[in-house]
A and B are shown apart, each in its own frame.
Chain A
Amino acid sequence: AQSVAQPEDQVNVAEGNPLTVKCTYSVSGNPYLFWYVQYPNRGLQFLLKYITGDNLVKGSYGFEAEFNKSQTSFHLKKPSALVSDSALYFCAVSSPNSNSGYALNFGKGTSLLVTP
């Protein structure tokens, strides 16, 4: 079985400060890890993914995430937050060995609020 945990329901950060949105995972085999962002009443936008290779992954809009195998984590980070980054962020995992193939298993989501 595969699962994702996002321990924080909400993260608040001031504009210009660095932000971190946490994600840990549990999967048998090698994980495929993703971050998506959702704006109100919209679908999900792909931010970045880790499949293999360099543990630090750079994605859209200045976001990056670091794959840490020993801690089974894939935290999302950005050096300087913008008010427009305020949205709902989902971490997701898939595994080619799972029964659902590449279907994604999502965390519950973390609401990011960036204040001016």
Chain B
Amino acid sequence: GAVVSQHPSRVICKSGTSVKIECRSLDFQATTMFWYRQFPKQSLMLMATSNEGSKATYEQGVEKDKFLINHASLTLSTLTVTSAHPEDSSFYICSATLITDTQYFGPGTRLTVL
């Protein structure tokens, strides 16, 4: 139980294009989903908290117009990296909560911007 999927697992795009990453809770309804970013050999940094049906809450320093988050249903949240640049290359990981205290993580999406 408590499985979270992400799609795609890897994406390579050209600078200036937009990329959408999907996060789905497969066997439970997630009232809250979180988006994290992880650089090589570093920890996860919280980017934003996404609640179904409401606007995402972004952490300080994260540009909301660049990282668009939509939480359209209790099982789906999307992160769109708009006008991607090489510095946006990273490992993006989402998580979802069934009960508020435990997060279940997706397998991550490796974004490479050329």
Contact = CB atoms under 8 A, between A and B. Distances in A.
Interface of A: 32, 34, 36, 41-46, 49, 51, 90, 94, 96, 100-109
**What is the interface of chain A mostly: helix, strand, loop, or mixed?**
loop
A90 B49 contact: no
Contacts of A45: 105
Given A43-B6, A43-B93, A43-B108, A103 B49 contact: yes
Interface of B is mostly: strand
Interface of B: 4, 6, 32, 34, 42-46, 49, 57, 59, 91, 93, 95, 97, 100-108, 110
B100 A90 contact: no
A100 B101 CA distance: 12
B49 A101 contact: yes
A43 B91 CA distance: 9
Contacts of B43: 90, 106-109
B57 A44 contact: no
Nearest to B59: A100
B105 A36 contact: yes
Given A43-B6, A90-B44, A109-B43, A102 B110 contact: no
Given A102-B103, A106-B45, 16 more contacts: A32-B101, A44-B44, A46-B102, A46-B103, A46-B104, A90-B43, A96-B100, A96-B101, A101-B100, A102-B97, A103-B34, A103-B49, A104-B46, A107-B43, A108-B42, A108-B43
